[in-house]
Structure 1
Amino acid sequence: MTLTTARHPTASAAATRRPAPARGAGLGLLLALLATVVWSGSFVATRDLADSVPPVQAVFWRWIIALLAVAPFAARPFWRQRALLRRHLGFTALASLFGVALYNTLVHQAGLTTSATNMGMIMAASPVIMAVYARLGGERLGARRLLGMAVAVLGVLLLVGRGSLTIDLAAGDLWMFAAALSFASYSALLKRRPEGIDGLAFLFTTFVLGALMLAPVHAVSLAVQGGFPATPGTVGPLLYVGVLSSAVAFFCWNKAISLIGAARAGVVYYLQPVCVALLSYALLGEELGLAGGACMALILGGVALSSAR
């Protein structure tokens, strides 16, 4: 037995390792897709809140709700790993800044002056930035993945420009590009998460730090703008973005990146404009048209090409 293992180490290792990446990749793609679908709905909810809740207050309460949703599951691993988390506090604080405090504030700010559809479509720029980060980090993207990304980007641009490559940007659109940069930076950081930190403990810590970062700005907003009425029209969307878009979707996204990397998960994120357009069609009655369908086909084809092993 010892002689056989010594003679064929490569074959033996390959036989043991080959099935695991396939399973991990499938689960990673599925989790990235779930997060993308949930986040697509959050743009509709965010746009709905823009008329009644100041952006900073909406983001602050979003993370308070997310903390309450995650706490029953994350409190024990958080307490068990408190020394490890304290040792890597700088890294976690940076991830909280980009992924929790800054990104979501920019999204809610964008919702004041642009449509939910545009918000979802512009966020499709973030996978390009993720791929750049991955390449700078030494990851080889490969010709097929690059080609798939190019096809998906073309589909997104045509969808935003309604069949044309000429795009007219509002102020909210520029806020969304800043949000895309922030989210891509957060996703790139996740790949370098320190070894040994539990996913739920890390998620809970970023939520706590993000809420603390937002607390002073929230206090200023309350003093200057006043509060907002707690009605079904405000509480419902806040529960959606707090529980589903924050607690559930961020956990799925973080896990997906640990399995397949930021660049590959980012390719799945190109599906977000498709999801937003379909939701707008189903909930708001917006027509997709033949051009919209063709653009979606380009995006789906690009995602399939880039995600194939």
Structure 2
Amino acid sequence: MAATGLLLAAVATVVWSGSFITSRALNDSVPPVQAAFWRWIAAIAVLAPFALRATWRRRTLIRRHLGYVTLAALLGVTLYNTLVNQAGLTAPASTMGMIMAASPVLIAVCERLGGTRLGLRRIAGLAVACLGVLLLSGDGALPSGFAAGELWMLAAAVSFASYSVLLRRRPPELGGLPFLFAAFALGTLLLAPAHALSVAVQGGFEPTAATVGPLLYVGVFSSALAYFAWNKAVALIGPARAGVVYHLQPVCVAALSFVILGERTGPAGLLCMGLILGGVALAATGRSR
């Protein structure tokens, strides 16, 4: 059971790591909002045969918790992936992955703002991880400012952290798959006006193998398959142990970006990766009070 859970968590982590590669691969061909919109259209199409009936049966519960579902959809669907795509216009995929590695620390910040007291170990981990992000953005030195892509990625990490904290308060009666399908659908609906504006201003993209292939990857694998694998992993081994595997994401992104995009990680980047991962691990083992 534990080995299966760890394997499923690893599958989700590797698949999600590929999303940063596709964001970089599409930066010259598909505008960020359009890439996010069609990602979720593909995800909805894949989930519909499995989730539509159960979602319809829970329609009264979804309406009752519509405010919660809408906020979760806004943070986790509408904003998060759009911000990642925007960051992919200029930020290297390896940098995007390492900044996202600090998201568990940001989750701790959100918890503190919600009233949870943090232990000293979690505070120390937060400081170390934030130092790693700062050094990463300054190529090994403390930066005087952030590049545009890094700011977009930090915003994406904040959105993901906020979504994750909110997810812990999901009403259990909604069910996992119906909630996920409803969030996908609502998030795509919220994204539709921005998509229409993007098409009107920037024009549409040409549907070729170089554009449709990556969009299908993030829609089918990063959205539908990875979420399913991650949810199953959490059910088998719990969120804490699954989260340890998630911390390997920047390593996966760096490896994939080197193999696929030819992006190299220098000594400074490796040092920053170590600081971020060390800080996140330290924060994850700390206790809340």
TM-score bracket relative to the smaller structure: 0.7 to 0.9
C-alpha distance in 2 between matches for 1:41 and 1:260: 24
C-alpha distance in 1 between matches for 2:256 and 2:249: 10
124, 128, 131: which one pairs with 2:108? Answer: 131
Deviates more, 1:240-249 or 1:63-72: 240-249
Partner secondary structure for residue 171 of structure 2: coil
Which of the pair has more CA radius of gyration?
1
C-alpha distance in 2 between matches for 1:295 and 1:48: 24
Deviates more, 1:28-37 or 1:210-219: 28-37
2:115 is aligned with 1:100: no
Question: What does residue range 265-280 of structure 1 map to in structure 2 within 5 Å?
Answer: 269-280=246-257
TM-score by length of 2: 0.83
| Stretches of structure 2 lacking an aligned partner (at least 5 in a row) | none
Instruction: For residues 35-92 of structure 1, give each alpha carbon's deviation from its aligned partner in whole angstroms, at most 9, with x where no partner exists.
Output: 3332221111012112111222111111000011111221232123222222211110
> 2:93 maps to what in 1?
116
Deviates more, 1:236-245 or 1:32-41: 32-41
Question: What does residue range 1-309 of structure 1 map to in structure 2 within 5 Å?
Answer: 33-137=10-114, 139=116, 142-166=119-143, 168-253=145-230, 269-302=246-279, 304-305=281-282
Question: What's the Cα RMSD here?
Answer: 3.3
Higher relative contact order (CA 8 A, sep 6+): 2
C-alpha distance in 2 between matches for 1:42 and 1:178: 17
Contact 1:32 1:252 in 2 (8 A): yes
Deviates more, 1:159-168 or 1:215-224: 159-168
Cα 1:157–1:256 change in 2 (3 A) is farther
| Stretches of structure 1 lacking an aligned partner (at least 5 in a row) | 1-23
C-alpha distance in 1 between matches for 2:6 and 2:43: 24
C-alpha distance in 2 between matches for 1:257 and 1:77: 21
Partner secondary structure for residue 172 of structure 2: coil
Cα 1:220–1:137 change in 2 (3 A) is closer
Count, aligned residues: 286
Query: What letter matches 2:90 in structure 1?
Result: T
C-alpha distance in 1 between matches for 2:231 and 2:22: 22
> 1:5 maps to what in 2?
none
How far is the alpha carbon of 1:99 from its aligned partner? 0.5
